[in-house]
Chains A and B, each alone.
Chain A
Amino acid sequence: MRIPITTMLVATATALLLAGPTSAPAQMDTARVEIQAHGFSAPTLTVKAGTTVTWTNRDDDAHTVTSVASTFRSPGLDTGETFSYTFTRAGTFEYFCSLHPLMTGKVVVTPERSGS
């Protein structure tokens, strides 16, 4: 029997930043990436700063979401398990699966107010 476990590792600083001097709206943007067939469903994902991205492992194999620059690092994710990270600053964040390093992806984070 497998019970999906949600692994939420959101930096505690996130909440503080969202409530900071920018008076950002309370609404939290979210985005999802599926891990399946030894790949990431959105190899390049573009989001606004403040967005929480959640990866869900749909494979039978274990995978990880590991930042190349060590910004974030999930534990081993079994089938159905998730990992979330909130991107608070703009930039390009490359990541890979540390079990299967040919699996790579990146999150491009744009400034929160861009385009608004």
Chain B
Amino acid sequence: MSDERAMERRDFLSCMAWTGTGLVWTLAGGVPRSRSLGPRTAEAAEDGSWSFVQISDTHIGFKGGANPDALGTFQAALARIKAMDPKPAFLIHTGDITHAQKPGAFDTVTEALKGVGGERTFYVPGENDVFADGGTEYLGRFAGGGRGWQSFDYRGVHFVGLVNVLDFKAGKLGSLGADQLEWLERDVAPLGSSTPIVVYAHVPLWAVYPQWGWVTDDGAQALSYLRRFGSVTVLNGHIHQILQKVEGGVTFHTARSTAFPQPAPGAGPGPGPMTVPAGELRGMLGVREVRYVPGREPLAVVDTALA
């Protein structure tokens, strides 16, 4: 499994060869951090800043009452990303790319995201992307022969993508599983504690609302490997709304969907698409830019609504 990491790194570094290192990184959420990250001089934006985008829960193929035009709102999200100036270095899609693996949905999203300005998009699956075939199509498209989890480095920041939606069992919560946990422990072991970490996965790694399945069963185990790091930013999707929590050096952020909102934890009989007055829908959908500006704190996790 170390091959997955090596492959991802080689792959990414080759396509990102134009970038510099040596930037200072910080992630917001109330825990500003600032670190020097290497000898080379940044060559991107004039102020040395860089950013990446988190997009989540595009649910292409959804046609329910909560949003009969999920493709249209996805395209509105693309427009928001395209308008970013300077452009994001890359994108992270935190799953539920498709709605119930509707035919053509993977192609719609992957092709569209190639045209928004980021160098590439990193994906992790949501349950909608893997439930019908146990992940065969998803892994074939995105995992390069691996099992979907991945890590890479960008300008001194270590990124880890985790998979917590495979092998759902009746009455059980989603989990990472022993193999992935072992891989994660080994993946971060060589890193110095001052290395900023960004972890992304579909279902929240922290207990947002276990009664609705809004938690990862063994998420705490994963986080235990990250406690020694001074700056850990956890990005999740799945719950279609922005929630935030700070716990020591770890900040947790869940993201909006581009397709439909869901109720606040525990509000109503259950989770699922929430129908709101038509004029309010786009205000509850959006994308996220994570940006650092050297020397300026706090650095921003900026959520942009579609309206």
Among residues of B, the one whose C-beta sits closest to the C-beta of A96 is B170
**Cβ contacts under 8 Å, A111 to chain B:** none
Question: A2 → chain B, closest Cβ, in Å?
Answer: 6
Contact mask for chain B residues 260-287; partner A; CB cutoff 8 A; 1 contact, 0 none: 1000000011111101000000000000
CA distance A76 to B169 in the complex (A): 16
Residues from chain B with a CB closer than 8 A to the CB of A2 are: 63-64
Instruction: Assess whether B65 is interfacial by the CB under 8 Å rule.
Output: yes
Whether the Cβ atoms of A68 and B128 lie closer than 8 Å is no
Structural contact, A78 and B270, CB atoms closer than 8 A: no
- Is the CB–CB distance between B273 and A61 below 8 Å? yes
Instruction: Answer yes or no: B66 CB below 8 A from chain A CBs.
Output: yes
Interface size class of B (residues with CB under 8 A): 20 to 34
The interface residues of chain B lying within 8 Å CB-to-CB of A61 are 64, 271-273
Residues in chain B near residue A98, CB distance under 8 A: 127, 131, 168
The answer to whether A102 and B275 touch (CB under 8 A), given A76-B131, A79-B65, is no
Which residues, 5 to 40 on A, are CB-close (under 8 Å) to B? 37-39
The reply to whether A59 and B272 form a contact with Cβ atoms under 8 Å apart is yes
Taking the nearest CB of chain B, how far is it from the CB of A14, in angstroms?
A: 24
Query: Which residues of chain B have C-beta atoms less than 8 A from A64's C-beta?
Result: 131
B64 touches A60 (CB 8 A): yes
208-226 of chain B: CB within 8 A of chain A: 211-213
Q: In the complex, A82→B244 CA distance in Å?
A: 38
Interface residues of A in 89-116 (CB under 8 A from B): 94-96, 98-102, 104
Instruction: Judge whether A102 and B212 touch: CB under 8 Å.
Output: yes
Tell me whether A75 is interfacial, beta carbon within 8 Å. yes
On chain B, the residues within 8 Å of A39 by CB distance are 269-270
B128 and A102 contact, CB distance less than 8 A = no
Given the known inter-chain contacts A39-B270, A61-B272, A102-B212, please indicate yes or no for A79 contacting B64, CB distance below 8 A: yes
Question: What residues of chain A lie closer than 8 Å to B268, measured between beta carbons?
Answer: 37
Interface size range of chain A in the complex: 20 to 34
Per DSSP, are chain B's interface residues mostly helix, strand or loop, or mixed? loop
Majority secondary structure of chain A interface residues (helix, strand, loop or mixed): loop
Q: Does A45 make an interface contact (CB < 8 A)?
A: no
User: Given that A101-B169, A104-B170 are contacting pairs, would A60 and B272 also be in contact in the complex, using a CB cutoff of 8 Å?
Assistant: yes
Q: Considering only CB atoms, which chain B residue lies closest to A77 in the complex? A: B100
* Contact residue among A60, A78, A94, A101 (Cβ-Cβ distance under 8 Å from B275): A60
Cβ–Cβ < 8 Å partners of A75 in chain B: 132
Given contacts A76-B132, A100-B213, contact A60 B173 (CB under 8 A): no
What residue of chain A has the Cβ atom nearest to residue B168's Cβ?
Answer: A101
Q: Which B residues contact A (CB, under 8 angstroms)?
A: 63-66, 99-101, 127-128, 131-132, 168-174, 211-213, 260, 268-273, 275
Known: A78-B63, A101-B213. 10 other contacts (CB 8 A): A37-B272, A60-B66, A60-B275, A61-B271, A79-B64, A96-B171, A98-B127, A99-B168, A101-B169, A101-B172
- What are 24 A-B interface contacts by the 8 Å CB criterion? A2-B64, A37-B270, A38-B272, A60-B273, A60-B275, A61-B271, A61-B272, A62-B128, A68-B170, A75-B132, A76-B100, A76-B101, A76-B132, A78-B63, A78-B64, A79-B65, A95-B170, A98-B127, A98-B131, A99-B100, A101-B170, A101-B172, A101-B213, A102-B173
Interface residues of A (CB under 8 A from B): 2, 37-39, 59-62, 64, 66, 68, 75-76, 78-79, 94-96, 98-102, 104
Ranked 6 nearest A-B pairs via Cβ: A76-B100, A38-B270, A96-B170, A60-B64, A62-B100, A37-B269
